[in-house]
Amino acid sequence: MAIHRAIFDGNALFRHKKTPAGGIRKYSHGRPVAFFTHPLVLGRFSILRPKIYDSFLPSNRMIESIKIKYIEIKQRMSNTQNGFNDVVFTESGVVKQYSLSHLEGLSIHFEEFELESKQVVPVSIHARPTNHLYTRRFEPNSDSIASPRLITRYEHHDGNFQAVKEPSTISTEKRIFCDEEYEANKRLPDFIKHAQENNPKCMLANRGDTRTCLSALIEVQQNSNDQDLYYLVMFKLHRVDSKTINMMIETAFIVNADDQRAKRIKNGPEADKKPFKVLVRNILAKREPFEIRKLTTSRKKKFKAKKKEKNKN
């Protein structure tokens, strides 16, 4: 039993030595155990049949456990993704499956969007959700890399989580699937619709960060507290071309009205906020989302002339 378990684990306990007959003599910590000549292949793992010692043949129970282990490995490999395949894992003997279809194909379209040049063009903003919308941070002290909930991703191009770099390389970032985050972010389609229809106020998410934007969708909690809840969304806008933007959703979560970020959205200085469309216009003009437009000399003269005329009246 121990021999076959070790073989499955990658021959961690054994070293090989070829024999004159072409077989393989197995050693355990330097001592010969059995003489193997006929490999049987199960999936990607070899189980070697001993020429003499039939007692080393795996039992049906062992074969079944190997199959289960192989399925678990495949599931963990399937949970390395940047796309929208279902998240599937086995936990406490129960297979769990979570659809990510609610995050896929979300876009904002403005059929008539006015650019700085006063030209009116159609503009598309495509949502690019990250796996932070259904996972939490990996805690080394309490989480294990053997956890069935482990989620990993591939390295991706800037501004588009779904655009995997070639050749594909698995990132060192590890996350843990989280039911609470998964349920909370079923609201992302509502936020995208909110941004399309209501041009919500946005502000910078973090001090010193000129790219990450923060906005919110407000809901009312239906319980005895009757307290407002805020669905906060942090995102970055990346210009693709003169009419297209990628909106990378870095994270999103639900907080109550006492949260400092919710207070900033609701009661913060208006000077710190900008409508969503202003951010889009800045990005299309190749500026930072909250960057103030610099006036050219001719525009400065026109501005001063208008101001002077207004003061006269």
- Model pLDDT for residues 58-92, shown as the tens digit of each residue: 677 777 777 666 655 555 555 899 999 999 999 99
Residue 26 has what pLDDT?
43
* 240 is a domain residue: yes
* 293 is a domain residue: no
**Domain end (from 17, 52, 72):** 72
* 280 is a domain residue: yes
Work out the average pLDDT over 102-126: 97
Buried b (16+ CB within 10 A) or exposed e, 261-288: bbebbeeeeeeebbebbbbbbbbbeebe
Same domain, 31 and 168: no
Residue 66 has what pLDDT?
73
Higher-confidence position of 297 and 182: 182
* 168 is a domain residue: yes
Q: What are phi and psi of 300, to 5 degrees?
A: -65, -40
Q: What are residue 161's DSSP bridge partners?
A: none
Same domain, 203 and 279: yes
Residue 31 has what pLDDT?
46
Residue with tokens 């070639």: 166
Same domain, 114 and 237: yes
Residue 301 has what pLDDT?
59
* 307 is a domain residue: no
82/128 Cα distance (integer angstroms): 10
Confidence of residue 135 (pLDDT cuts 50, 70, 90): very high
pLDDT in tens, 183-218: 999 999 999 999 999 999 999 999 889 899 999 998
Same domain, 68 and 112: no
Q: What are residue 110's DSSP bridge partners?
A: 123
Lowest mean pLDDT among 33-47, 65-79, 167-181, 268-282: 33-47
Averaged pLDDT of the chain: 81
Residue 231 has what pLDDT?
96
Please count the structural domains in the chain: 2
Higher-confidence position of 122 and 223: 122
Q: Residue 42: enclosing H or E segment and its boundaries?
A: strand 31-42
Q: How far is CA 61 from the centre of its chain?
A: 38
* 259 is a domain residue: yes
CB 124 within 8 A of CB 246: no
pLDDT in tens, 6-52: 333 443 333 444 444 444 444 444 444 444 444 444 444 444 444 44
Work out the average pLDDT over 124-140: 97
172/136 Cα distance (integer angstroms): 15
DSSP string, 137-151: E--TTT--TT-TTEE
Same domain, 68 and 106: no
Residue 132 has what pLDDT?
98
Residue 91: which residues within 8 A CB-CB, separation 6 or more?
A: 148, 149
Lowest mean pLDDT among 147-156, 181-190, 301-310: 301-310
Higher-confidence position of 63 and 153: 153
Q: pLDDT exceeding 90 applies to what percent of the chain?
A: 60
Residue 1 has what pLDDT?
43
Work out the average pLDDT over 230-239: 97
Supply the range of the domain harboring residue 145: 101-284
* 189 is a domain residue: yes
pTM for this prediction? 0.71
